[in-house]
Amino acid sequence: MSAPGTTDPDAATSGRPAPELPPKPGPSWFAIGGTIGAIVMTVITARSVGFSFSDVWSNLSRQNSVIEGALSPDWSQIWSERSRSAFIETLQLAVLGTVVGATLALPLALWTTKFGNPNRFLRTIVRSFNNVIRSIPDLLWALIFVTAVGIGALSGLLALIFFSLAVTTKLTSDILDGIDMGPVEAANASGAGLNQMLRTAVVPQILPSYASFVLYNFELNLRASAVLGLVGAGGIGARIEFFRGRGQWEELWGLVFMFFLVVLIVERISVSLRRRLV
């Protein structure tokens, strides 16, 4: 209840000529601990992989056919019948894997949310399932499916489906966390069923982002499908593995560089499409 100004501590200090600076705070315990932890981790891990600068240098500076092959790639591979059909198979695998995987990802993502899946127990199950499939990398999926289903493009397709499922579900459920709940409440208030609510109040909100995730996923799949063949799951990887086995590095690099050119072009197209979407 005192009058403002008279008891204000600022007023008292304003007359002081030069305020003393507070002492500079030292680094926090977290920073110290984190730095020490990182250094210890680095020393231990470097030892367990046998890292040494001199080895890296001597190995890289030594003459070897791999790097020589990279400097003079054999472009004629592009016109060979086999490489071209492997190329097309890779593209088809990526497309189908993305379409099927990403389509399945939409309901799976919706089921991780409170409004899309009111049952808490089921929600936990769906979330754990997503976590598990996300922690298995693409090539491992391929390895598993090749063992179960046999060598061939079908294993590659199944591997890409599961890989896409994991990626798109994760990205989409992150977007779902931040949607506007207004339309959901409106739909519920007007008596919509669960599916009607999702269809009219949720899906329209996330559709542009979802579409862009699918395209992004396609880019990932295109890159992933290049290596599936290394374990026998179809696509261009089989050709790469073939040339590697015979030590034909010029041909291998010709093929790999060509593939990256295609990947970069597809990525440009995909990025411009995504920019339009969002």
Q: Nearest Cα to 101, choosing from 167, 5, 149, 178?
A: 167
Contact 88, 236 (CB under 8 A): no
- Chain positions 135 to 164 lying near other proteins, rule: CB under 8 A, are 135-140, 143-145, 147-150, 152-154, 157-158
Among 109, 159, 160, 171, binds other proteins (CB under 8 A): 171
Window 8-47: contact mask with other proteins (x via CB under 8 A)? --------------------x-x---x------xx-xxx-
202 is an interface residue for other proteins by CB under 8 A = no
Tokens of 164: 């896409």
Binding mask 233-252 for other proteins (x = CB under 8 A): -x-----x---x----x---
- Minimum CB separation from other proteins for residue 12, in Å? 29
CA distance linking residue 241 with residue 230, whole number of Å = 6
Residue 117 gets which letter from DSSP? Answer: -
Number of residues that bind other proteins (CB under 8 A): 85
Site residues (CB under 8 A) for other proteins, limited to 101-130 = none
Single out the segment in contact with other proteins by CB under 8 A; choices: 4-12, 188-196, 197-205, 262-270: 262-270
Q: Helices in the chain by DSSP H: which ranges?
A: 9-13, 29-48, 53-61, 65-71, 81-110, 120-134, 138-149, 153-176, 182-189, 194-197, 203-228, 237-245, 249-277
Tell the smallest beta-carbon distance from residue 17 to other proteins (Å).
Answer: 24
